[in-house]
């Protein structure tokens, strides 16, 4: 795909009516040095080839840009983003909201579903709507860590090693079929996801901000896969499944000839700066003591549940609160309600726990069983009034 | 998944309905056990029960006006009957409770109806206790207790599950529920025991009434007809329970004659009692033989028998065993209404009939009986009062006269009686098959059929002896009995028997039994007689330990409880030196327990409040109480919100179930959430207005 040059269509600089600040998105930066995409099995859909040295990337955003959004602005942002993404992924408002919540909470998403239900479409649409750089990595069993992080190449002219960054250096990374690659490559993602940096040849290199990994895996395929270890699963903020569209939506899709065109026509409605401001606002969402206790009660219940052998970690508890805060903000509130927490229990906690004695359960049903266990826990813990 | 859940819920619902229906049925059995319910009601209730199980869903809530009219009509009818004195007030109340229960059976729509049904069935059980205290009531009561416990638990479970239907919880059977049920059961048990021990007459005897009509019983009627019967049925019902009043070894109880009445007047085809003599109060009276100088020296062998006449079988007659009945008395006072005992000149013991269930009395009998040698040679100098026992039927068959002469010619009366007795039991056969012959049954028995039952044998012997000029009379009662595991001898209705008493000057009437011994007594084989015996054994215990639990027994129990308590107190106080320490220990222990309970309660309250010890601000507290008030109002409209449901979840559920309340509830939810979690202000006026709008919507 040819990269749009610097003379591309003019883009609006601010969308939310706040003080006009010239926002230079990472995508712009990347596009400036637009080159071809990386070889191997990774392909960058939106040019992800970054030739510019990493230090040129704004790691920390300027203070005025990090000004948190007000709840009303957040609501407006959420509505416009949701509407935009929904043009490409129809009838999945809930999934889109949760994906936005993950973005807002600065967390990573694990999409677990069968092929062809719109996982990639979701990732594309999000990237386009937010004007973020996007890279897609197709994980295979022969993929090596260097293939995704990048490598140092000897440049004859200068007689020096120059770092050629891999597809991981993008705002939105679609890690497709993450369970098809070896644990070695999977663990390479660990550092990137947790610390938002990669270490190549002993040199740590910061990843762009915002950085969101959107991994997919097919839960029904088991041969030739390497199931993600618990430690890696714990690093995903939410686990979602897109699910089949409803009959009416699917019919529309059939008759309308798919959504590829809409996806292609998607225009950004927000900038990475808006996203950063959203992220800044999330941590300011007010959490009452009782609601925090409610989160703790749910987490404690997973640890003492007889259905689970491994409960939720403190990171899980923090993630649950963060995700719930993001959801509250996206709904135009600057305070957290117990309902936010309860609604996020399954997407946020189900992949972090291990079912007790699940040897007898078919792997395909394990997920259902854990979700049921979490649902029951959520139905048992009294909601603070 | 959803289908399975739905099926489960259905089965739970139907299980609950069945349990409630069963409880109602048991309650009905309890009230019907007395056998006094009006026939239409007794028929209508099972029908209503069946209909409610089959078509309950379709008729529930319909035809309310008809039901109201019917119930009002029933009240009016019952009131009129009571005022006119045609019906007992207790019975009227019981019948009305049955009607109310029927009404509720037809209208079972929600939780409230189900609980009302249980309450009404409890009312029926109470009415049953007032109507009858027989074992059948006891069994119904126990069955009711079991079914009602099921129904109570299942009703709670069912509606709890339905209330949380959008997210079914598996742990409806929470430990707290089980604990609450157990506490309820223990409380009920303790309460019942206390009530029973403390107020025995209130529990069972107090309101009890007794049917005035008693059953016709073989062996106790005051008239005997020898023909016109069919076959005597082997009636396995128990009529008497006999045991030794004192612990005496080797006392013979099985195979005795239990004398009820004597019959002196021949009616042509049967017997009737003489009515020319009065009766007198019984006082201890020595047997006539005691006037004999030889007998005075003999040691009297007086034995005491405790006889229990089963309800409905005691017809004012005291049954006395073989020997001379010295005296009889009722050990239980019947609340100052102790019946009076009479002795007729012919030796029958009677008492003024009383309305009671089982009648228990003690008979003292002098068992020393004269042997034939002692009776011989007393001559034929009969006093005038036995003249009626010498009357021979005017149209006596000459063959009878001839037979009498042949058997008794030139013999002492004792030997004559013995010879007739032996001849009858040897020459004639016993049979329960009665012929329909009504013309001279005696001659027919002696010369044509040559077989018959005990009454024919005894009647024949009396006629034969009277023809020979020896005074004799017919006596009825029971013979035999069956030993039971409960330590008493059961005498059945089928044990009814008839024998002969022959008069000897100076010795009075002496019994003879011409019936072949193989033919006496009831048949006790077979499953049915055994089942009847087992039931009677239960009934005896019920009567002894439940119904006859009276003031004496109560005072005994209470005094033993008091003694036990004082013993514990003594032990606690211990020796004199340690006394002060223990005296302080008890109140201190009680205080500690109370304090711990208070602390537990306070902690639970705090935990329930969900504030974790934090003091809420005015707005927060107001928001919280606004939501709780709204929830309470919705619960009254049958939309319950589970404690695990958040406010928004609850709003969705309410919108689904009570669409008219949707708007106000949404407004309340927004205000509550913003004030409670978002720190927004919530004015008291605003809260009140919101609540009023909800009230208006719910109205």
ipTM value greater than 0.85: no
pLDDT at residue B390 tops 70: yes
Residues B19 and B81 in one domain: yes
What pLDDT, on the 0 to 100 scale, is given for residue A337?
A: 92
Does the CB of B528 have a partner CB in chain A at under 8 Å? no
Nearest to B644 among A288, A289, A380 (CB): A380
Does the CB of B261 have a partner CB in chain A at under 8 Å? no
**Tens-place pLDDT, residues A323-368:** 999 999 999 999 999 999 999 999 999 999 888 875 555 666 788 8
Contact A286 B646 (CB under 8 A): no
Chain center to CA of B516: 38
Does the CB of B605 have a partner CB in chain A at under 8 Å? no
**Tens-place pLDDT, residues B85-133:** 788 888 888 889 899 998 888 888 788 888 899 999 988 888 887 777 6
Closest-approach residue (CA) in chain B for A384: B610
Q: Which residues of A touch B649 (CB under 8 A)?
A: 339, 342
Per-residue pLDDT band for B500 (boundaries 50, 70, 90) equals: very high
Q: Where are the domains of chain A?
A: 26-284, 285-385
What pLDDT, on the 0 to 100 scale, is given for residue A330?
A: 93
Contact (CB, 8 A) for B323 and B365: yes
Query: Which comes out higher in pLDDT, residue B173 or A362?
Result: A362
**Tens-place pLDDT, residues B365-381:** 888 777 888 888 888 88
Residues B384 and B287 in one domain: yes
Chain A with chain B: Cβ pairs closer than 8 A: 63
Residues B515 and B623 in one domain: no
Contact A383 B677 (CB under 8 A): no
Residues B10 and B153 in one domain: yes
Residues B114 and B261 in one domain: no
Q: Is CATH 3.40.50.970 the right assignment for the domain spanning A285-385? A: no
Chain B interface mutation, best of A72, A333, A385, highest count of B Cβ atoms under 10 Å: A385
Q: Which residues of B touch A337 (CB under 8 A)?
A: 646-648, 673, 677
Contact B614 A290 (CB under 8 A): yes
Residues B427 and B515 in one domain: yes
Nearest to B612 among A289, A378, A380 (CB): A289
- Please, what is the average pLDDT of chain B? 78
Q: Is residue B645 part of a domain?
A: yes
Nearest to A339 among B164, B642, B648 (CB): B648
Contact A291 B677 (CB under 8 A): yes
Q: Which residues of B touch A369 (CB under 8 A)?
A: none
Q: Which residues of B touch A368 (CB under 8 A)?
A: none
Nearest to B673 among A293, A337, A382 (CB): A337
Contacting B with CB below 8 Å, chain A residues are: 286, 288-291, 293, 333-339, 342, 375-376, 378-385
What pLDDT, on the 0 to 100 scale, is given for residue B201?
A: 46
What pLDDT, on the 0 to 100 scale, is given for residue B373?
A: 82
For the ranges A196-205, A212-221, B577-586, the lowest mean pLDDT is seen at B577-586
What pLDDT, on the 0 to 100 scale, is given for residue A38?
A: 34
* Smallest Cα distance from A376 to chain B, Å: 7
**Tens-place pLDDT, residues B300-319:** 778 888 888 876 666 678 88
Residues B447 and B510 in one domain: yes
Contact A382 B611 (CB under 8 A): no
Contact A335 B643 (CB under 8 A): no
Q: Is residue B643 part of a domain?
A: yes
**Tens-place pLDDT, residues B184-201:** 767 776 777 776 666 544
* Smallest Cα distance from B602 to chain A, Å: 18
Cα dihedral across residues B383, B389, B393, B399: positive or negative? negative
Nearest to B610 among A342, A375, A385 (CB): A385
Q: Where a domain ends, among B185, B205, B225?
A: B205
Which is it for strands B265-266 and B508-512: parallel, antiparallel or unpaired?
Answer: unpaired
Per-residue pLDDT band for A20 (boundaries 50, 70, 90) equals: very low
Per-residue pLDDT band for B278 (boundaries 50, 70, 90) equals: low
Residues B194 and B280 in one domain: no
Residues B429 and B473 in one domain: yes
Per-residue pLDDT band for B268 (boundaries 50, 70, 90) equals: confident
Does the CB of B646 have a partner CB in chain A at under 8 Å? yes
**Tens-place pLDDT, residues B604-625:** 766 655 555 567 788 888 898 8
**Tens-place pLDDT, residues A149-192:** 888 888 888 888 888 888 989 988 988 888 888 888 888 887 78
Cα dihedral across residues B190, B191, B194, B197: positive or negative? negative
Residues spanned by the domain of B179: 2-205
Does the CB of B173 have a partner CB in chain A at under 8 Å? no
Per-residue pLDDT band for B215 (boundaries 50, 70, 90) equals: very low
What pLDDT, on the 0 to 100 scale, is given for residue B248?
A: 62
Closest-approach residue (CA) in chain B for A380: B644
Q: Where a domain ends, among B498, B524, B550?
A: B524
Residues B169 and B298 in one domain: no
Closest-approach residue (CA) in chain B for A375: B167
Query: Which comes out higher in pLDDT, residue B145 or A101?
Result: A101
Does the CB of B169 have a partner CB in chain A at under 8 Å? yes
Helix, coil or strand: residue B261: strand
* Smallest Cα distance from A378 to chain B, Å: 7
Contact A378 B611 (CB under 8 A): no
Does the CB of B606 have a partner CB in chain A at under 8 Å? no
**Tens-place pLDDT, residues B36-82:** 888 888 898 999 888 888 887 777 777 778 888 988 998 898 889 88
SS in 3 state form for chain A? Answer: CCCCCCCCCCCCCCCCCCCCCCCCCHHHHHHHCCCCCCCCCEECCCCCCCCCCHHHCCCCCCCCCCCCCCHHHHHHHHHHHHHHHHHHCCCCHHHHHHHHHHHHCCCEEEEECCCCCCHHHHHHHHHHHHCCCEEEEECCCCCCHHHHHEEEEEECCCCEEEEEECCCCCCEEEEECHHHCCHHHHHHHHHHHHHCEEEECCEEEECCCCCEEEEEECCCCCCCCCCCCHHHHCCEEEEECCCCCCHHHHHHHHHHCCCHHHHHHCCCCCCHHHHHHHHHHHCCCECCHHHHHHHHHHHHHHHHCCCEEECCCHHHHHHHHHHHHHHHHHCCCCECCHHHHHHHHHHHHHHHCEECCHHHCCHHHHHHHHHHHHHHHHHHCCCCC
Nearest to A385 among B170, B171, B624 (CB): B624
> Which CATH number fits the domain that encloses residue B484?
3.10.620.30
**Tens-place pLDDT, residues B627-685:** 988 888 888 777 777 777 888 888 888 888 888 888 888 999 999 999 988 888 888 89
* Number of domains present in the structure of chain B: 3
Q: Which CATH superfamily is domain A26-284 in?
A: P-loop containing nucleotide triphosphate hydrolases (3.40.50.300)
* Smallest Cα distance from B169 to chain A, Å: 7
């Amino acid at each position: 795909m040819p990269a749009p040059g610097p003379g591309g269509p003019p883009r609006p600089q601010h969308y939310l009516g706040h003080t006009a600040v010239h926002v230079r998105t990472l995508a712009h930066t990347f596009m400036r040095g637009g080159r071809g995409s990386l070889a191997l099995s990774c392909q960058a859909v939106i040019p992800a080839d970054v030739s510019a040295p990493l230090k040129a990337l704004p790691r920390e955003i300027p203070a005025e840009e990090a000004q948190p959004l007000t709840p009303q602005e957040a609501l407006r942002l959420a509505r416009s983003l949701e509407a935009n993404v929904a043009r490409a992924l129809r009838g999945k408002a809930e999934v889109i909201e949760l994906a936005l919540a993950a973005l807002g909470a600065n967390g990573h998403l694990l999409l677990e579903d069968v092929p062809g239900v719109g996982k990639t479409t979701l990732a594309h649409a999000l990237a386009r709507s937010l004007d973020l750089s996007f890279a897609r990595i197709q994980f295979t069993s022969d993929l090596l860590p260097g293939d995704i992080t990048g490598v140092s190449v000897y440049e004859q002219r200068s007689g020096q090693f120059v770092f050629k960054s891999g597809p991981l250096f993008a705002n939105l990374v679609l890690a497709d079929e993450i369970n098809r690659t070896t644990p070695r490559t999977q663990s390479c993602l660990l550092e990137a996801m947790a610390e938002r940096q990669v270490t190549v040849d002993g040199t740590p290199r910061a990843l762009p901000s915002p950085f969101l990994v959107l991994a997919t895996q097919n839960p029904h395929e088991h041969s030739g896969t390497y199931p993600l270890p618990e430690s890696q699963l714990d690093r995903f903020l939410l686990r979602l499944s897109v699910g089949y569209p409803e009959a009416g939506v699917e019919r529309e899709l059939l008759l309308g000839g798919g959504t590829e065109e809409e996806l292609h026509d998607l225009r950004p409605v927000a900038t990475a700066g808006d996203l950063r401001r959203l992220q800044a606002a999330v941590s300011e969402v007010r959490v009452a003591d009782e609601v925090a206790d409610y989160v703790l009660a749910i987490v404690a219940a997973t640890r003492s549940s007889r259905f689970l052998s491994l409960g939720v970690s403190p990171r899980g508890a923090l993630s649950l609160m963060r995700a719930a805060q993001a959801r509250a903000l996206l709904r135009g509130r600057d305070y957290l309600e117990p309902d936010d927490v309860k609604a996020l229990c399954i997407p946020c906690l189900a992949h972090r726990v291990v079912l007790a004695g699940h040897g007898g359960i078919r792997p395909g049903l394990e997920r259902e069983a854990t979700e049921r266990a979490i649902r029951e826990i959520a139905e048992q813990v009294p909601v603070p009034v | 998944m959803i289908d399975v859940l739905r099926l489960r819920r259905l089965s739970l619902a139907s299980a609950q309905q069945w349990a409630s229906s069963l409880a109602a049925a048991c309650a009905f059995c309890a009230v019907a056990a007395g056998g006094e319910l009006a026939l239409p009601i007794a028929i209508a209730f099972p029908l209503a029960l069946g209909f409610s199980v089959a078509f309950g869903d379709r008729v529930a809530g319909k035809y309310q006006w008809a039901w109201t009219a019917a119930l009002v009509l029933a009240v009016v009818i019952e009131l009129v009957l009571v005022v006119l004195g045609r019906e007992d007030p207790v019975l009227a109340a019981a019948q009305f409770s049955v009607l109310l229960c029927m009404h509720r059976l037809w209208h079972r729509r929600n939780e409230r109806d189900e609980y009302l049904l249980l309450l009404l069935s409890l009312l029926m059980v109470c009415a049953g206790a007032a109507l009858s205290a027989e074992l059948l009531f006891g069994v119904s009561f126990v069955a009711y207790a079991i079914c009602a416990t099921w129904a109570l638990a299942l009703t709670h479970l069912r509606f709890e599950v339905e209330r949380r239907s959008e997210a079914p919880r598996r742990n409806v059977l929470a430990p707290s529920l089980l604990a609450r049920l157990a506490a309820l059961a223990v409380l009920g048990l303790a309460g019942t025991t206390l009530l029973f021990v403390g107020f025995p007459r209130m529990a069972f005897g107090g309101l009890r009434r007794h049917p005035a009509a008693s059953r016709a019983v073989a062996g106790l009627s005051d008239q005997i007809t020898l023909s016109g019967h069919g076959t005597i049925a082997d009636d396995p019902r128990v009529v008497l329970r006999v045991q030794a009043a004192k612990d005496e070894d080797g006392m013979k109880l099985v195979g005795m004659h239990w004398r009820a009445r004597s019959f002196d007047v021949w009616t042509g085809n049967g017997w009737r009692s003489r009515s020319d003599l009065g009766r007198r109060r019984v006082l201890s009276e020595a047997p006539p033989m005691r006037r004999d100088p030889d007998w005075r020296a003999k040691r009297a062998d007086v034995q005491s028998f405790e006889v229990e006449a089963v309800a409905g079988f005691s017809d004012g007659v005291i049954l006395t065993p073989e020997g001379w009945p010295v005296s009889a008395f009722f050990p239980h006072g019947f609340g100052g209404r102790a019946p009076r005992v009479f002795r007729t000149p012919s030796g029958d013991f009677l008492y003024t009939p009383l309305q009671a269930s089982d009648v228990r009395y003690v008979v003292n009998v002098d068992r020393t009986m004269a042997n034939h040698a002692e009776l011989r040679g007393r001559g034929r100098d009969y006093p005038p009062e036995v003249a009626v026992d010498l009357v021979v039927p005017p149209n006596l068959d000459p063959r009878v006269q001839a037979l009498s002469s042949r058997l008794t010619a030139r013999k002492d009366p004792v030997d004559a009686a013995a010879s007739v007795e032996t001849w009858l039991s040897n020459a004639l056969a016993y049979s329960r098959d009665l012929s329909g012959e009504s013309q001279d049954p005696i001659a027919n028995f002696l010369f044509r059929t040559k077989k018959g039952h005990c009454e024919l044998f005894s009647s024949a012997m009396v006629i034969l002896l009277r023809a020979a000029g020896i005074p004799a009379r017919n006596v009825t009662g029971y013979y035999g009995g069956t030993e039971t595991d409960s330590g008493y001898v059961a005498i059945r209705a089928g044990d009814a028997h008839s024998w002969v008493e022959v008069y000897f000057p100076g010795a009075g009437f002496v019994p003879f039994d011409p019936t072949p011994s193989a033919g006496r007594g009831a048949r006790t084989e077979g499953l049915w007689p055994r089942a009847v015996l087992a039931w009677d054994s239960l009934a005896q215990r019920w009567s002894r330990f439940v119904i006859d639990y009276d003031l004496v027994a109560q005072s005994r129990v209470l005094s033993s409880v008091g003694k036990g308590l004082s013993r514990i107190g003594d032990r606690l106080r211990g020796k004199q030196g340690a006394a002060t320490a223990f005296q302080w220990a008890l109140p201190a222990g009680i205080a500690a327990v109370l304090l711990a309970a208070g602390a537990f309660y306070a902690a639970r309250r705090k935990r329930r409040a969900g504030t974790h010890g934090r003091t809420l601000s005015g707005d927060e507290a107001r928001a919280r109480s606004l939501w709780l008030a709204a929830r309470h109002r919705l619960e009254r409209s049958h939309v319950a919100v589970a404690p695990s449901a958040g406010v928004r979840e609850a709003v969705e559920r309410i919108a689904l179930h009570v669409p008219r309340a949707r708007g106000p509830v949404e407004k309340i939810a927004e205000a509550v959430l913003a004030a409670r979690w978002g720190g927004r202000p919530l004015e008291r006026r605003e809260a009140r207005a919101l609540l009023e709008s909800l009230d208006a919507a719910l109205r």
